[in-house]
Amino acid sequence: MKFEIVGQKGEARAGRLHLPHGIVETPVFMPVGTLATVKSMLPHELEGMGVQMILNNAFHLHLRPGADVVAQARELNKFQNWKKPILTDSGGFQVFSLAKLRKITDEGVHFQSPIDGSKHFFTPESVIALEEKLGPDVAMILDEVVAHPCTYDAAAKAMHRSVAWAKRAQAARTRETQSVFGIVQGSLYDDLRVESCQATAEIGFDGLAIGGLSVGEPPDEMYPIVDLCCKNLPQEKPRYLMGVGTPRDLRECVARGVDMFDCVLPTRLARHHVAVTREGNLTLLRARFKTDFAPLDENCACLTCREYSRAYIHHLCRSNEISAARLLSWHNLHYYQEIMRNLRAEILS
Domains along the chain?
Answer: 2-263 (3.20.20.105), 264-349 (no CATH)
pLDDT at res. 93: 80
- Which of 40, 49, 33 has its CA nearest to residue 325? 40
Which among 193, 15, 1 has a CA at the least distance from the CA of 87?
1
- Using CA atoms, how far residue 256 sits from 12, 189, 198, 227, 253, in Å, is 6, 18, 18, 5, 5
Supply the pTM of this predicted model: 0.97
Burial letters 43-63, b for 16+ CB under 10 A, else e: bebbeebebbbbbbbbbbbbb
245/338 Cα distance (integer angstroms): 14
Helix intervals (H) in 173-280 = 190-203, 219-232, 247-255, 265-271
Active site residue 249: no
Residue 118's pLDDT is what? 92
Active site residue 262: yes
Mutual orientation of helices 322-348 and 247-255 as an angle, nearest 10°?
A: 20
From 68, 89, 206, 259, the catalytic residue: 89
Rounded Cα distance between 222 and 187, Å, is 9
Can you say whether the dihedral through the CA atoms of 271, 272, 273, 277 is positive or negative? negative
Write phi, then psi, for 4 (nearest 5 degrees). -130, 140
Classify the C-alpha dihedral 40-43-44-45 as positive or negative: positive
Per-residue pLDDT of the chain (349 residues; tens, 9 = 90+): 999 999 999 999 999 999 999 999 999 999 999 999 999 999 999 999 999 999 999 999 999 999 999 999 999 999 999 999 999 999 878 777 777 888 999 999 998 888 899 999 999 999 999 999 999 999 999 999 999 999 999 999 999 999 999 999 999 999 999 999 999 999 999 999 999 999 999 999 999 999 999 999 999 999 999 999 999 999 999 999 999 999 999 999 999 999 999 999 999 999 999 999 999 999 999 999 999 999 999 999 999 999 999 999 999 999 999 999 999 999 999 999 999 999 999 999 9
Give the pLDDT of residue 237.
Answer: 98
3-class secondary-structure state, position 96: helix
Catalytic residue, candidates 206, 249, 259, 262: 262
The whole-angstrom separation of Cα 57 and Cα 331 is: 24
The dihedral through the CA atoms of 208, 23, 328, 326 has a sign that is: negative
* Closest C-alpha among 143, 134, 18, 137 to residue 83: 137
Cβ–Cβ under 8 Å, residues 170 and 203:
yes
